[in-house]
């Protein structure tokens, strides 16, 4: 007797995997493995409080605001907009490492931190993440008068920051702000942590025989995130493809690029800083954490190297 249950199903196959983080199957479905997460709390803890917000329910885009519990000044506070990493395919501001790092950073820098959860690839390929994160700037401006947690936000002192893919997003959101000539927020500086860039042309490090595994993993995330049919010379991957006039490059905010000594992406980060300098960007700093790995601040948010990074970021913010 034939029943629907007796019909043999075609087995779904695994086509892409980043062990412990991501699996993509032949039917297009995606499975993400979520590490430990932290809930937002309006109760003060470690000198800060946090609140989850909905930036755009239609997409959806969400975020988490971190606020120093006892600001050192009663005056306005700078705003740091943060974009998490994860190869554009994984990650969330709710991850425990991000929560602790950004909460502590809000205290150290005396800033309002707004961390954005943008839509992820491969379901939402680039430039979706850029669009979502740019719209978060518009949301912050629109909420300053109505969101109590943003009432002290100083829109004349806005900073963009992110790690890995989030560093890439930081660059691309800044580009769009210049092209669109936005006036509603004054972006004073960019703080890129271990930024994730690429190109069709391999670097010397990527050509090394021992780099095959790292190159394959980076290529996999690019294949999942850039628009289908395009190469790693897509503008979002290859920063040299940015289309700004010489005068627009002079408008680019001050930049600090943080690299880690043991990070495979260090070479690309150094190249990015050198590229900006050649374009005439007014201030470009390169800071290396010797002996540290990629996004160490997320995996070890309370380590001394992370504390040093927070102090360095604080100094940069306070200088503008």
Contact 105, 80 (CB under 8 A): yes
DSSP letters for 200-257: SSPPHHHHSGGGHHHHHHHHHHHHHHSPTT--TTSTTT-GGG----HHHHTTSPEEEE
- Distance, in Å, from the CA atom of 282 to the CA atom of 46, rounded to the nearest integer, reads 36
Kindly name the residue from 117, 131, 163, 263 that is annotated as catalytic. 263
Adjacent-strand bridge partners of 30: 24
Are the C-beta atoms of 103 and 79 separated by less than 8 Å? no
Among 164, 171, 194, 297, the active-site one is 164
Enter the tokens of residue 309: 């990074």
Three-state DSSP class for 35? coil
5 is catalytic: no
88's torsion region: left (phi>0), alpha (psi -120 to 50) or beta? left
Is residue 154 within 8 A of residue 80, CB to CB? The reply is no
Strand partners, 77: 153
* Three-class SS state of 47: coil
CA dihedral (176, 89, 214, 27) positive or negative: negative
Contacts of 142 (CB under 8 A, 6+ apart): none
Burial of residue 156 (CB within 10 Å: 0-12, 13-18, 19+) is exposed
Active site residue 194: no
Active site residue 164: yes
Strand 61-68 vs strand 112-117: parallel, antiparallel, or unpaired? antiparallel
Backbone angles phi, psi at 90, to 5 degrees: -135, 175
State the catalytic residues: 164, 263, 294
């Amino acid at each position: 007797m034939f029943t629907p249950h007796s019909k043999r199903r075609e087995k779904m196959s695994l086509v892409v995997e980043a062990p412990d983080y991501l699996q993509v199957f032949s039917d297009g479905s995606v499975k993400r493995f979520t590490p430990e997460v932290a809930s937002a709390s309006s109760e003060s803890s470690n000198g800060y409080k946090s609140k989850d917000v909905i930036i755009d329910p239609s997409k959806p885009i969400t975020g988490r605001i971190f606020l120093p519990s006892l600001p050192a000044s009663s005056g306005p506070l700078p705003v740091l907009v943060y974009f998490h990493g994860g190869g554009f395919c994984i990650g969330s501001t709710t991850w425990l490492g991000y929560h602790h790092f950004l909460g502590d950073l809000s205290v150290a820098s005396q800033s309002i931190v707004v961390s954005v959860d943008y839509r992820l690839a491969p379901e939402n390929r680039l430039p979706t993440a850029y669009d979502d994160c740019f719209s978060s700037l518009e949301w912050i401006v629109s909420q300053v008068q109505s969101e109590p947690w943003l009432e002290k936000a100083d829109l004349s002192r806005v900073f963009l920051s992110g790690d890995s893919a989030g560093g890439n997003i930081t660059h691309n959101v800044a580009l769009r702000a210049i092209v669109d000539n936005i006036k509603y927020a004054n972006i004073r500086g960019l703080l890129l942590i271990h930024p994730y860039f690429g190109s069709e042309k391999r670097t010397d490090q990527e050509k090394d025989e021992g780099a095959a595994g790292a190159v394959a993993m980076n290529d996999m995330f690019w294949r999942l995130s850039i628009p289908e049919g395009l190469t790693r010379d897509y503008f979002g991957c290859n920063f040299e493809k940015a289309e700004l006039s010489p005068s627009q490059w002079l408008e680019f905010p001050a930049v600090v690029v943080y690299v880690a000594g043991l990070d495979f992406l260090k070479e690309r980060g150094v190249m990015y800083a050198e590229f900006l300098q050649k374009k005439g960007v007014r201030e470009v700093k390169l800071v290396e954490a010797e002996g540290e790995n990629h996004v160490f601040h997320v995996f070890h948010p309370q380590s001394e190297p992370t504390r040093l990074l927070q102090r360095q970021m604080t100094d940069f913010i306070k200088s503008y």
